[in-house]
Chains A and B, each alone.
Chain A
Amino acid sequence: MSTHSVASNNSGSVWRGGVSPFNVSYGKLMMWIFLLSDAFTFSSLLIAYGTERFSFSGNLDTPWPMPDMVFNHFPFAHHIHLPLFFVSLMTFILIFSSVTMVLAVEAGHRLSKKEVAKYMFMTIIGGFAFLGCQAWEWSNFIGDGATLSINHFSLTAEGLAYADTLTVGEKYEWSDGLRQVGPGVFSALFFIVTGFHGFHVFSGVVLNVVVYINVLKGTYEKRGHYEMVEKAGLYWHFVDLVWVFVFTFFYLI
């Protein structure tokens, strides 16, 4: 495709109309602006998590729970201590679906309808796989007794000692006196932040399905370019980007 140049009476400055100073289309620029605003929203939520967590540091009456001892489930491994494994799997699913999205954009540049459709389909599957994992994660958390305002995952002194002796892959059992009621905001923030992110993933999947149908229908082939795939891609990568930080703050730290 040719470089951009539109006949106009614009002399010298790119800011005097007739051309895009950012050298991107309106749709793509607005997607970036939207993503910036969304980044602010997610930052506020994650910073709220940080503030609450800091405010409970050193608090032994109502300690912050150890993520290790809350999110240690893995499918078909009942009551076996496997922290981080399931959420790592979710991370890899999302990274890989980001890769297939980028491959769809690249195929779009070559105007290869068949390949765009193939990679878009793979991206949608990745999105559904992630959503399924998150539903499983939530159902475990709720099944263990969490509600929007109740968290009884905080460890007592005996609980901390028990957590220390527990090794990865070992069978564990909760008995009385190991856990206690802690800050309810832990559960609330977990549900709100992962829920808000999950809702973004869901919207992204819907967006990807719409684009996928249009690819199959040949809408973009007729249009002569696959920029819509790239715009949906920007949103999808952003969802992946947010997950990087949710993963870091909720599970790693």
Chain B
Amino acid sequence: MSHATHSDKETLMYETNQEMLYHGESHGTKEIWKIFLWLTVITVLDIILYFALEPTMFRNITFVVFGIVKAYLIVGYFMHMKHERTNLALSIIVPVVFILGLIMGLLYEGNFWSTI
């Protein structure tokens, strides 16, 4: 796999390192189609619930939960996050906590605006 044409030894090491960090093994296509099926099923459920249920808080929360499940499937399987090292996964996922803080703060604020 190497195509060593560099003369500088350090550049060679760096480039080689970068290439070796790419794990090129195939996991087959079975899992991909399974995840596609799940994403389709959840989206179809979204549509069914949209027409079957009255717009209530329960329905809205169900949609958000479904959205998070879809996000998990896309990030975990399509973006291979499940196959990455834990420290990479945590570095990307833990900062999302800040988003939760903003959601709580601003939705509370929006609710307050509606009362004045």
Please list the residues of chain A having a beta carbon within 8 angstroms of any beta carbon in chain B.
Answer: 1-7, 18-29, 32-33, 35-36, 39-40, 43-44, 47-48, 50-59, 84, 88, 91-92, 95-96, 98-99, 101-103, 106, 108-111, 168, 222-227, 230, 233-234, 237-238, 240-241, 244-245, 247-248, 252-253
Query: Given that A1-B23, A36-B92, A43-B102 are contacting pairs, would A99 and B32 also be in contact in the complex, using a CB cutoff of 8 Å?
Result: yes
Cross-chain contact B22 with A103 (CB below 8 angstroms): no
A3 proximity list for chain B (CB < 8 A): 20
Known: A4-B21, A32-B92, A106-B28. 8 other contacts (CB 8 A): A28-B22, A32-B88, A36-B95, A43-B99, A47-B103, A50-B103, A50-B107, A56-B114
Cross-chain contact A51 with B107 (CB below 8 angstroms): yes
By the criterion of a CB under 8 Å from any partner CB, how many residues of chain B are at the interface? Answer: 60
Secondary structure type dominating chain A contacts: helix
Nearest residue in B to A222 (C-beta to C-beta)? B3
Cross-chain contact B92 with A225 (CB below 8 angstroms): no
Q: Select B111's contact among A25, A32, A54, A88, beta carbons within 8 Å.
A: A54
A25 proximity list for chain B (CB < 8 A): 18-19, 21-22
Q: Select A102's contact among B20, B66, B78, beta carbons within 8 Å.
A: B78
Q: Select B106's contact among A2, A48, A248, beta carbons within 8 Å.
A: A48
Nearest residue in A to B64 (C-beta to C-beta)? A248
Cross-chain contact B110 with A23 (CB below 8 angstroms): no
- Complex CA gap A40/B95 in Å reads 9
Cross-chain contact B92 with A92 (CB below 8 angstroms): no
B66 proximity list for chain A (CB < 8 A): 248
- Complex CA gap A58/B113 in Å reads 11
Query: Given that A22-B85, A98-B78, A224-B1 are contacting pairs, would A52 and B110 also be in contact in the complex, using a CB cutoff of 8 Å?
Result: yes
Cross-chain contact B60 with A253 (CB below 8 angstroms): yes
The 7 closest A-B pairs by CB, nearest first: A54-B110, A55-B113, A51-B110, A109-B26, A22-B88, A55-B110, A248-B67
Q: Select A110's contact among B26, B43, B107, beta carbons within 8 Å.
A: B26
A4 proximity list for chain B (CB < 8 A): 17, 20-21
Cross-chain contact A6 with B92 (CB below 8 angstroms): no
- Complex CA gap A253/B80 in Å reads 30
A44 proximity list for chain B (CB < 8 A): 102
Query: Given that A51-B106, A56-B114, A84-B50 are contacting pairs, would A244 and B67 also be in contact in the complex, using a CB cutoff of 8 Å?
Result: yes
Cross-chain contact A39 with B99 (CB below 8 angstroms): yes
| Shortest distance between the CB of A104 and any CB in chain B (Å) | 11
| Shortest distance between the CB of B52 and any CB in chain A (Å) | 12
Specify which of B67, B78, B102, B114 lies most central, judged by the most chain A CB atoms within 10 Å of its CB.
B78
Cross-chain contact A244 with B74 (CB below 8 angstroms): yes
Nearest residue in B to A37 (C-beta to C-beta)? B95
B17 proximity list for chain A (CB < 8 A): 4, 6, 18-20
Query: Given that A20-B21, A24-B84, A234-B79 are contacting pairs, would A95 and B43 also be in contact in the complex, using a CB cutoff of 8 Å?
Result: yes
Cross-chain contact B25 with A109 (CB below 8 angstroms): yes
